[in-house]
Chain A
Amino acid sequence: MSQRYRLISCLIGASLAVPALAQAQAGGATIPDTSSAINSWKPLSQRVVHYEIEARYDAKAHSLEATEVLTYHNLTGQPLDTFPFHLYLNAFQPTSTWLREGKREGTRGQDFKKWDPKSYGADEIKSFEVVGQGDLTSQLQFIHPDDDNKDDRTVVQAHLPQAIPPDGYVQFRIKFHDQFPKTLERTGWDREAILGGQWFPKVGVWWHNAWNCHQFHAYTEFFADFGVYDVKLTVPQDEVVGATGIEVSKAKNPDGTQTFTYHGEDIHDFAWTASPHYLDYYDTFQGSMGPVKVRIMMQPGHLGQLERHRMAVLETMRRFDEWYGPYPYKNLTVVDPEPGSQSFGMEYPTFITAGTTWWMPNGLYSPEQVVEHEFGHQYWYGMVATNEFEDAWMDEGINQYTEVKVMDSLFGPYTSFLNLWGITAGEREGNRLFLVPVADLDAMAQNGWQYADANSYGGVTYGKTADILLTLESLIGEDTMRRAMHTYFMRYRFTHPTKEDFLKTVEEVSGKDLRWYFNQAVYGTQVLDFEVLKISSVPVDWYKESLKEEKGKTEYISNVWIHRKENFILPVDIEIKFDNGEKLREHWDGQDRWIRYAYQKKAKVESVEIDPDHTLHFDRNNFNNSRRGEPNGKAARKLADYWIFCSQLLAQALAWWLV
């Protein structure tokens, strides 16, 4: 055997030996490479984890006893001897970081003054064993990587006596007890219903050569590795249950309970719900990778809105499939949660919660919007699994952008949120209004827990991202933008892309250097505000005493001043309309603070409009983007009349009851 062959033999031997050692440590466990829950013959993701959980839910106590076997495949390329885990139900305690942030910001679900301790949540590890290394329960330590809150118990870390070698496997056997909170946000129970999210110890993500396992925050909560989930869930027999993944089996037990078995592949989380009240409806979406069974779990009082939910989810799936790429899973569960529950509008792999009320009128597209948005997260979170904690805009914001696209295509651009009794509102305007008050506070590229406040997080992460991408669409073209989104999805699905991955994909597909735009829009806090500063039309013969102005005959020198009030630099079109019907278009690079255009015509300037095609979606003030030569008070009179009417009603109501 030559020296060369000996070297190759050694390398092969070493590469085989390492996993053998690791498998020995993990009791010979591997990650399954099955494909029964996806429309694909092979795994779609690099499967890092395999969770096998057996849980028994006590509906009366809203608590759960479970055992979890987690098999972790060390694909980090280096030995690992510490492992952090989420214990996110511990956030639902008064001293948690989530609650402190929420109280500081007044975010959804946390505006209460008293909190009954019976409504707290908790995730308690009863035992923690590393197969082959023994019980490490007593050595677990709570850590708080994002702040100095020593009372936060949402991340726990285990230090292993023996490191797990590269490409090795390790298996954790964890017994835990969950106490679900009364739903303040995201997860918990309401009346007889339960929405189980963030309910089991979940390992962090090794990312950029370090563990990435953030605490549970007021706005952000998702980042995990892909893998396989096998979950056995035992609940009372009167419960209707829905969950992530496909239902493999269902068995009734002699003790009045029933056990459901779920299996999910190429997913990074698992959520479930149970309630005696759900009514099930099924449909099928014929996707480009195969049929998808769509299950809609409705509240009895919302059955009249079943068709709205069905239409919204199927039409959204169709558009996403056509525009961005296929939905590869075999099923999707849409849950209409318990009325009034704060668990509405949530996303988990193959499982989303909608949100409506019994009185929802047809022209208010809130249920459709929620269904669309949460389904969108199957792509922007579910498959393109960005780090929500650090790049929330890539999750919520890109999803908000695609929401606008879908809702606009379903209901029309100016009526995509509201079209009721003559009152209208569009999604894109809504996003801009969300952004306007906070436009200069935070950049999009920012850790989710470090925004100025809840409004800034919402306005920037959701509103600004959508507006920035809608405007980007006008810079590179709608078709190019759609191709860029498609490329981004297909290239980065089942991975954890960074912001630069997204931005470079857009540049690559468009063939344009867009750094000037991204630096301001994504990394900066620049604000866009163009203004028609003034217009004037002065007769050329103004000095002649005999001058008598006549429309179409008198010659005018007209000037138009355009002003860039803020610091976002962007080229823009300007339309000047003259009173003889003539229209002119100018293109300004926007580099200077202002520009003046001068014309000499037998017509006066009737109006000037910046961005006449309405392609800039984040201008802070749309009112000053245009100016008339002569004012028109019709809109103000209309509003004033409405105001008078309301004032009269108020006055009459007062006099009706008190005089």
Chain B
Amino acid sequence: MPETQSLVSAATRIVRRNKRYVVWFYLMNLLFAWWGATAFAIHAHSMLDNSLYADRLVRGFDLAVLLEMLGRPEFGPMRASTVPAMVFAVVFFVASLLFMPGVLLGYASDHRIPGEEFYRACGRNLWRFVRLFLFFAIVAGVVVGILGAAEGALVEAADKTSYERLPFLTDVISLAIIGLLLTLGRIWFDIAQTDAVLRDQPAARKSLLSGFRLLRGNVGRLLGAYIVMAVVALFVLAAGVYLWHVMVPSSSVFGAFLVSQATVLLLLTTRFWQRAAAVSFYLRKLAEPSGESATAEAMAAPVS
């Protein structure tokens, strides 16, 4: 537990020292989402701006008005609004994949790294990260596929009992287990990515091996830190939505925007917090005397 605490504290210091990354990623997230929402906004403006009926969306939130708007032929098909949002979500993912090596490098450094170094790290590690992503997608796909099928069977069996909540509880517990396993996988790949960047390791399999070895000996510590941060993220989301509901008048568009964006920013911060934890953990392992583990030997290469 103390080790987890120290990891969380160290990660907090790293994130605080490198706030700019969170801000830049947040702005990127906002920009892409804004682009993704353009089609929706255009359609909404064309339907609502001239109509008094739209006031029922401003004074409160009348679901019937929203549904009627979405159902009108002149609003266009829903996919005209959802597809751009999804496309830009993918673009954000790709951008995150592209820029994350620079962030990891920055997190490992005790000084502000120059932009040139940041982008060089991004460029050098792009394909490594793509390969690691593909590995992770396969591993996660297998885990989710197998456990998802088991979950489906369990829920179906639970549905045959007269205890109505059992299918729901089965679902929640199953999803928690899947989430936990995926988090383990995420930690593994986070460390592997850190290894790829900090050791300038071109072979993804070596980074994966290194990540796996480090994780194997420190599961409790790492998982504890990641779970703490994930719980904080859930709390942030719940608190944000709650504050939005109780504090922001329904007619205050700007107020809703502020609260929603603060929520998104804090949510993003928690993920960077996890990243920082992985880097901090990796650096500590690097600093430990060599020979303690095979992993340490594998880390003999200099940090770029």
B55 contacts A650, CB within 8 Å? no
CA distance A299 to B41 in the complex (A): 46
Return the contact of A646 from the options B32, B54, B85 (Cβ within 8 A): B85
B53 contacts A429, CB within 8 Å? no
List of A residues within 8 angstroms of B140 by Cβ = 657
A425 is an interface residue with CB less than 8 A from chain B = yes
A638 contacts B133, CB within 8 Å? no
A648 contacts B29, CB within 8 Å? yes
B253 contacts A358, CB within 8 Å? no
A623/B60 contact (C-beta < 8 A), A607-B52, A640-B41 known: no
CA distance A355 to B89 in the complex (A): 39
A658 contacts B137, CB within 8 Å? yes
Best-buried of A359, A426, A633 by chain B (most CB within 10 Å)? A633
A623/B68 contact (C-beta < 8 A), A414-B62, A628-B51, A634-B253 known: yes
Mask for A419-450, Cβ within 8 A of B = 1, else 0?
A: 00111111001101100110000000000000
List of A residues within 8 angstroms of B89 by Cβ = 647, 650-651, 654
Return the contact of B30 from the options A192, A648, A657, A659 (Cβ within 8 A): A648
B92 contacts A654, CB within 8 Å? yes
CA distance A636 to B162 in the complex (A): 46
B85 contacts A636, CB within 8 Å? no
Interface range, A side: 35 or more
A425/B62 contact (C-beta < 8 A), A357-B164, A631-B49 known: yes
B182 contacts A644, CB within 8 Å? no
Mask for B249-286, Cβ within 8 A of A = 1, else 0?
A: 01101001100110110011001000000000000000
B157 is an interface residue with CB less than 8 A from chain A = no
Return the contact of A643 from the options B32, B41, B50 (Cβ within 8 A): B41
B48 is an interface residue with CB less than 8 A from chain A = yes
CA distance A634 to B51 in the complex (A): 11
A638/B256 contact (C-beta < 8 A), A423-B61, A631-B50 known: yes
B67 is an interface residue with CB less than 8 A from chain A = yes
> In the complex, what residue of chain B is closest to A575 when comparing beta carbons?
B52
CA distance A418 to B61 in the complex (A): 11
A644/B51 contact (C-beta < 8 A), A622-B68, A652-B267 known: no
List of B residues within 8 angstroms of A299 by Cβ = 164
Query: In the assembled complex, how far is the CB of residue A456 from the closest CB belonging to chain B, in whole angstroms?
Result: 16
A433 contacts B68, CB within 8 Å? yes
A423 contacts B63, CB within 8 Å? yes
A636/B45 contact (C-beta < 8 A), A422-B250, A643-B40 known: yes
CA distance A641 to B251 in the complex (A): 13
CA distance A609 to B50 in the complex (A): 11
Query: In the assembled complex, how far is the CB of residue A133 from the closest CB belonging to chain B, in whole angstroms?
Result: 48
> In the complex, what residue of chain B is closest to A429 when comparing beta carbons?
B64
Interface range, B side: 35 or more
List of A residues within 8 angstroms of B90 by Cβ = 654
List of A residues within 8 angstroms of B161 by Cβ = 191
Query: In the assembled complex, how far is the CB of residue A58 from the closest CB belonging to chain B, in whole angstroms?
Result: 19
Query: In the assembled complex, how far is the CB of residue B220 from the closest CB belonging to chain A, in whole angstroms?
Result: 22
Mask for B228-249, Cβ within 8 A of A = 1, else 0?
A: 0000000000000000010000
CB-contacts of A286-340 with B (<8 A): 299, 301-302, 338-340
Query: In the assembled complex, how far is the CB of residue A533 from the closest CB belonging to chain B, in whole angstroms?
Result: 12
CB-contacts of B54-86 with A (<8 A): 54-58, 60-69, 71-72, 81, 85-86
CA distance A436 to B72 in the complex (A): 9
B93 contacts A651, CB within 8 Å? yes
B160 is an interface residue with CB less than 8 A from chain A = yes
B100 is an interface residue with CB less than 8 A from chain A = yes
Return the contact of A422 from the options B41, B61, B66, B96 (Cβ within 8 A): B61
CA distance A641 to B253 in the complex (A): 8
B206 is an interface residue with CB less than 8 A from chain A = no
B205 is an interface residue with CB less than 8 A from chain A = no
CA distance A636 to B33 in the complex (A): 16
CA distance A659 to B122 in the complex (A): 13
> In the complex, what residue of chain B is closest to A628 when comparing beta carbons?
B50
A658 contacts B136, CB within 8 Å? yes
B29 contacts A639, CB within 8 Å? no
A5 is an interface residue with CB less than 8 A from chain B = no
A647 contacts B88, CB within 8 Å? yes
A624 is an interface residue with CB less than 8 A from chain B = yes
A644/B256 contact (C-beta < 8 A), A636-B41, A652-B264, A659-B97 known: no
B37 is an interface residue with CB less than 8 A from chain A = yes
CA distance A432 to B271 in the complex (A): 45
List of A residues within 8 angstroms of B55 by Cβ = 635
List of A residues within 8 angstroms of B86 by Cβ = 650
B186 is an interface residue with CB less than 8 A from chain A = yes
Return the contact of B33 from the options A340, A623, A634, A644 (Cβ within 8 A): A644
CA distance A514 to B88 in the complex (A): 56
Best-buried of A301, A636, A648 by chain B (most CB within 10 Å)? A648
**Interchain residue pairs with CB less than 8 A apart (22):** A277-B162, A299-B164, A339-B164, A422-B250, A424-B62, A425-B62, A426-B62, A433-B64, A623-B53, A626-B53, A628-B49, A635-B48, A640-B44, A641-B257, A648-B33, A654-B89, A654-B90, A654-B93, A655-B271, A657-B182, A658-B97, A659-B96
Q: Which 4 residue pairs of A and B lie closest in terms of their CB atoms, listed nearest first?
A: A429-B64, A631-B49, A626-B52, A635-B54
Seed contacts A640-B41, A659-B93; 19 additional CB < 8 Å A-B pairs: A277-B162, A358-B165, A432-B68, A622-B68, A626-B52, A627-B52, A632-B54, A635-B44, A636-B54, A640-B44, A641-B260, A642-B260, A644-B30, A647-B33, A647-B36, A647-B37, A651-B92, A654-B89, A659-B97
